[in-house]
C-alpha cells in the first residue's frame, strides 16, 4: 500500500498530518498533543511509528483496516 503523508492546516489553523493511501479516502490527524514529534519537527523518520501508534489506539475500524493493509 502506498502511503503519502503531508503536513497541512485545518480550517481553524491547526497543524494536521494528512494520510492519503492509494485507492482509499484520505484522513487527517491533528498533530498538537497527538503526534508531538511530528508537530515539532515535521515529517521525519519517527512519523510513521507515531501515526501507527495513534491509529492503533484511537483510530476507527476503517482507519485501522486501511493502515494495516
* pLDDT tens, N- to C-terminus, the chain (69 residues): 678 999 999 999 999 999 998 888 999 999 999 999 999 999 999 999 999 999 999 999 999 999 988
C-alpha distances in angstroms, 24 versus 2, 6, 15, 56? 10, 16, 22, 18
Q: Model-level pTM?
A: 0.89
Contact 6, 20 (CB under 8 A): yes
Q: What are phi and psi of 21, to 5 degrees?
A: -115, 135
pLDDT at residue 3, rounded to an integer: 86
Sequence-ordered alpha helix ranges (H) in the chain? 36-41, 47-58, 61-68
Amino acid at each position: 500500500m502506498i502511503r503519502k503523508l503531508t503536513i497541512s492546516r485545518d480550517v481553524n489553523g491547526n497543524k494536521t498530518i494528512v494520510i492519503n493511501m492509494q485507492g482509499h479516502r484520505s484522513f487527517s490527524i491533528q498533530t498538537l498533543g497527538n503526534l508531538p514529534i511530528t508537530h515539532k519537527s515535521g515529517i521525519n523518520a519517527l512519523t510513521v511509528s507515531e501515526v501507527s501508534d495513534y491509529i492503533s489506539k484511537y483510530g476507527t475500524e476503517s482507519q485501522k483496516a486501511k493502515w494495516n493493509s
